[in-house]
Structure 1
Amino acid sequence: MKKHYDPPLTTNPNDPLFRVDKGIASAQKKLDVAIDMKRHHTRHNLAQEVIKEAREMLRKAEHARALKLKELAVKAAEMRAAGK
């Protein structure tokens, strides 16, 4: 089951979150492949290690997105303050 993001992941290359969202999509894909690998192969220890790494990469990508959202919110607040 995929996680729902607020705001949703963007596919617009001009959006400031595009690179971060692309990292999340890549990490999700890698995790799906790792879980599929575990189902179809006998090397469960190796598959479990790959799943662990993929989950860590997804966690880091989600953390980077949260930081980017905070950064954009601060910039927007500064722009509003400067405009008043």
Structure 2
Amino acid sequence: MKYIEDSMDKGLTNLMDQLGNGLNRGLKQVLVNGAGHNRYTLNIDGLPAEVSILQVESNEQLNQPWHYTITFTSSDKQLSVESFL
């Protein structure tokens, strides 16, 4: 019985270590990169700031051009619409 308890203790300790390490990495990423909404980013040549993707919607129909709407945000409040087009 002692072996099972020790094994469970080690397993629980391992799980807690993994959760703590994951939380620690996530917090470091937020502090270094700024708060992001998710892990998807958009890189545009010539754009100095990182862009975080919030949502992607598509409209696809036969014999019609595909249409995608990408909703995003950035920590750089100085970005203009013209810099993306």
Asked whether the two chains share a fold, i.e. TM above 0.5, the reply is: no
Which has the larger Rg? Answer: 2
| TM-score normalised over the length of structure 2 | 0.41
Write 1 or 2 for the structure with the bigger share of strand. Answer: 2
Q: Which has the higher contact order (CA 8 A, sep 6+)?
A: 1
TM-score by length of 1: 0.41
